[in-house]
Structure 1
Amino acid sequence: MKVNYDAQNDVLKISLSSTPVRNCDFDKPGVVLGYGSDGSLVDLEIREASRKIDNPRSVDLAMNGRSVHGVRLL
């Protein structure tokens, strides 16, 4: 999984796999869901992220019951 924040375009993208996106769902304003050819969710984009997320440059992670707070995105 990859998390990328593009500050210039104010887009937060979460890629769940490296599968190519074949179809996109634009039903919700400011959110784009990308699907692979088999219909599985591949990625999601949040547009105008700085207006919707407290701090799009910081991520809190939880893995196996352990939390890591404030990981800064480059």
Structure 2
Amino acid sequence: MKIIYDPEVDVLRILFQDIPISDSDEDETGIIFDFDDQGNVIGLEVLDASKRIDDPQTVSYMIARPTTH
């Protein structure tokens, strides 16, 4: 997975797979979904990212651990 922020155009891209994009579809909220040739979502683009995300230049992530019973 790759996360790329381009401050020049204020777009945050999240790529789940590094394969060619066959199609894209923008919803009304300014999110673009990128699809492979099978119709699977392989990435997202967040337009006007600085208006939607607290700090698009800072990334943190967490791996959830399975709960044990």
How high is the TM-score relative to the length of structure 1?
Answer: 0.81
Query: Is there any run of 5+ residues in structure 2 with no aligned partner, and where?
Result: none
Q: What whole-Å deviation, never above 9, does each CA across 1:9-37 have from its counterpart, x for those lacking one? A: 00000000012111111123311000000
Q: Would the aligned equivalents of 1:32 and 1:44 in 2 still touch at CA under 8 Å? A: yes
Q: Kindly name which structure, 1 or 2, has the bigger radius of gyration based on alpha carbons.
A: 2
Among all aligned residue pairs of Structure 1 and Structure 2, give the percentage whose two residues are the same amino acid: 32
**Aligned-residue CA RMSD in angstroms?**
1.1
Q: Which consecutive segments of 4 or more residues in structure 1 shift more than 6 A?
A: none
How high is the TM-score relative to the length of structure 2?
Answer: 0.86
Alignment length (residue pairs): 65
Q: Distance in 1 between matches of 2:36 and 2:28?
A: 19
